[in-house]
Amino acid sequence: MAVDKVIATNVTALKGKYGDKYPRVRAAIDALIKADVARGLKTMLVALDSASDMKRVKGKAVSKASDERGAKAAIDAIYKRYRPDYLLLLGAPDVVPHIQLTNPMTGTPDDDDDPSVPSDVPYASDAAWSRRPQNFVGPTRVVGRVPHLPGANNPAYLA
């Protein structure tokens, strides 16, 4: 099946975050998919936490929204299966985590005292799991994120 764009998110985390307001988020996702059809794009939603969605891509469901390694493996499996032109991460890092990369400035004169750098760059690479930023210098995927506010429970910003 040819897929132009995959929207990847953790539906359980979205439902937990928005509760009875989740249908508004789902309606916004459906509207985006419909708008993409009008643009000539086939878009699909893949839930990182769904055993059935992840089985279809020969991956493992992500049971904790904070599981960086699991999210990277799930995104890799999704990409390997569908080869989309675009990967869209839906949600803030409390839904789809950033990968905490080791800060390359640590121990240099420009050290900013941050031990890690939160990043989506690993999702844009077919390189294996790592916290080393130098392992992800050649992105092979187009990845974007539609964020919202970490900890917020009003879907207006996301929708």
CA-CA distance, 145 to 88, in Å (whole number)? 5
Handedness of CA 78, 84, 86, 91 (dihedral sign): negative
Q: Is 11 exposed, middle or buried (0-12, 13-18, 19+ CB in 10 A)?
A: buried
CB 45 within 8 A of CB 33: yes
Do β-strands 86-90 and 5-9 pair in parallel, antiparallel, or remain unpaired?
parallel
pTM score, whole prediction: 0.92
Residue with tokens 């990369």: 101
Comparing C-alpha atoms, which of 124, 127, 74, 118 is closest to residue 97? 118
Helix (H) / strand (E) element for 8: namely: strand 5-9
Residue 86: its pLDDT value, please? Answer: 97
Structure-token pair, residue 13:
């985390």
Q: Along the chain (159 residues), what's the average pLDDT of each consecutive run of 10 residues?
A: 94 96 96 97 98 98 97 98 97 96 78 84 96 93 91 84
DSSP alpha helix (H) spans, the chain: 11-18, 22-38, 51-56, 68-82
Residue 113: its pLDDT value, please? Answer: 76
Residue 1: its pLDDT value, please? Answer: 65
